Amino acid sequence: MTWLRTSTVEHLPADPLGDAVAAALADVALGAEVELAYTPIDQPEMPGAGPPGWRVDIVLHHNERVARLVAAGERPALIELLDVVSEAGLRTAAAFRRHQPDDGVGINAALTRALRDAVAGEILTRYLARRTGHEAPELIAETIEYLLELGGTRVESHELTHGVVITDVFADAPRLEFAYPADIRAAKRASLLFDGQRSLLVVDTDGRARSELQRHRLELIDHRDGRMRMRGDDLFESGALIADATSILGGLGFFLRADRTIWTFVDGRPLLVRRGEHWTAFPLELGAAIEEMAGSSEVATLIANAAFRISAQPTGAILAVVDDPMRLDGVVSPKDRYDLRDDVDREAMQIETRLHHLIDAEPLDEQTLVRLAMLDGATIVDRQGHLLAYGAIVTSKGSQYEGARTAAARTLSKIADVVLNVSVDGDITIFRHGTALTTLLGRAARA
């Protein structure tokens, strides 16, 4: 992802800190171009977001190609993200200017990492404030620091996970003061108790730990429909408990996964993901993109949720939607075609086709789709959500510049409405007409 610097005069100031902020924002706002717009000022009264003698504004321009993918229903969420990211960048730059000398020398790696976490903290602070009316920047910064500590720690031979939701649902004062994360940090087994899969910790906006919320009791406070949705254990490992809790309790949720990634949630869905010292916004446009290309909101939800679940696992997958099953002729072997299982002569039926008759995929639900898609090969459905193929070997010409899965996804996208290629690192790349439109969730390839 790129950023650019502009000025209202003929020259630009040296601004390595501004470049670092722009790089952090570009990581977060995949699909957007970050602009640093500089204006000279004569007598600055106090340090601001720009270098001495300059004012800087941060503008995010959403990539036109990606913007076309976003349906109208998703635009408010996308607009909020872009607005919050710009504000967070300015606040982070201003805070770092007070402590970092502007000598024109590039900042070091440690400061760059701290800056990325500070940008994420500012974004999360803005989201929490908009939903609770409370700003808690120190609490959010301390929570991120605590989760980073846990990510490098093992307790009783366990890879640690941890879940917490910061919310304003408590009207009364706590009976016992229990500071988060300071007091939790001192309790060695606290992370095991509040693992984010079977139980999470609920914290108020003043940073006081108030109660646990257990997975099997969540339905007792779910007044939306009186019952919990059926969840698979693999989805809880990716943060479904935290997502559901933020949908019910509001506020902001954090989940440290066993793979040391940090997931944050608002309004029941992922917001930011920290992977490999970089923060990325979870793709708000994923479901909208699929719906626009596949022409079905139900199939879009099915495919998007499946891709999200698989991205949380150390594996990959190819998910595709086609409007006409006949398009698969010559691209997918008949033995991999679930939809043709009844058209094959029983005497000539291969073992793979016999296996299709044992699979229950009618109707196709999310859990079944995930299970099948995690097999080697492509999983393909039609616009009505009927399973057409799974474990399908796609006839493609490999490339020395990309892996076999990517080459197969690219080939399949030439005859499909849309193809999602989920990498083992969790990236989700959308292919259409043989072209990678955008990479979501993980860090996009620099093209």
Q: What pLDDT, on the 0 to 100 scale, is given for residue 446?
A: 35
Q: What pLDDT, on the 0 to 100 scale, is given for residue 162?
A: 93
Short-list 251, 273, 284, 78, CA closest to 165: 251
Looking only at the bridges linking them, the beta strands covering 269-275 and 262-266 are antiparallel
- What is the band of 223 on the pLDDT scale with cuts at 50, 70, 90? very low
Taking only the tens place, the pLDDT of each residue in 244-270 is 899 899 999 999 988 888 999 998 888
- The phi and psi torsions of 233 (rounded to 5 degrees) equal -60, -35
Q: What pLDDT, on the 0 to 100 scale, is given for residue 330?
A: 87
Q: What pLDDT, on the 0 to 100 scale, is given for residue 285?
A: 59
Q: Which of 96-105, 328-337, 379-388 has the lowest mean pLDDT?
A: 96-105
Mean pLDDT across 214-236: 56
119 has pLDDT over 70? yes
- What is the distance between the alpha carbons of residues 125 and 251, in angstroms, rounded to a whole number? 10
Sign of CA dihedral 219, 441, 238, 405: positive
297 has pLDDT over 80? no
Taking only the tens place, the pLDDT of each residue in 20-49 is 999 999 888 766 789 999 999 876 555 567
| Sole residue written with tokens 């944050």 | 264
Q: What pLDDT, on the 0 to 100 scale, is given for residue 299?
A: 87
226 has pLDDT over 50? no
Sign of CA dihedral 362, 368, 371, 373: positive
Beta strands in 116-222 (DSSP E): 154-155, 158-159, 162-167, 199-204, 209-214
Mean pLDDT across 325-353: 82
Beta strands in 106-256 (DSSP E): 154-155, 158-159, 162-167, 199-204, 209-214, 252-256
- What is the distance between the alpha carbons of residues 100 and 374, in angstroms, rounded to a whole number? 47
- What is the distance between the alpha carbons of residues 410 and 398, in angstroms, rounded to a whole number? 10
381 contact partners, CB below 8 Å, separation of at least 6? 299, 302, 303, 319, 320, 321, 322, 364, 369, 387, 388
- What is the band of 401 on the pLDDT scale with cuts at 50, 70, 90? low
300 has pLDDT over 60? yes
- What is the band of 89 on the pLDDT scale with cuts at 50, 70, 90? very high
- What is the band of 320 on the pLDDT scale with cuts at 50, 70, 90? very high
Q: Return the top range by mean pLDDT from 50-64, 119-133, 168-182.
A: 119-133
Q: Are 392 and 378 in contact (CB under 8 A)?
A: yes
Q: Return the top range by mean pLDDT from 48-52, 139-143, 404-408.
A: 139-143
230 has pLDDT over 80? no
- What is the band of 116 on the pLDDT scale with cuts at 50, 70, 90? very high
115 has pLDDT over 50? yes
- What is the band of 444 on the pLDDT scale with cuts at 50, 70, 90? very low
211 has pLDDT over 50? yes
Query: Alpha helices, DSSP H only, in 29-108?
Result: 64-67, 75-97
293 contact partners, CB below 8 Å, separation of at least 6? 69, 321, 417, 418, 432
73 has pLDDT over 60? no
Q: Are 81 and 124 in contact (CB under 8 A)?
A: no
Mean pLDDT across 294-302: 79
Short-list 340, 303, 337, CA closest to 417: 303
Higher pLDDT pick, 140 / 78: 140
Residues of the chain above pLDDT 70, percent:
81
**Average pLDDT in the chain:** 82
Q: What pLDDT, on the 0 to 100 scale, is given for residue 110?
A: 87
Mean pLDDT across 180-207: 90
Taking only the tens place, the pLDDT of each residue in 351-363 is 777 787 888 888 8
- The two three-digit tokens of residue 337, written as one number: 């075609």
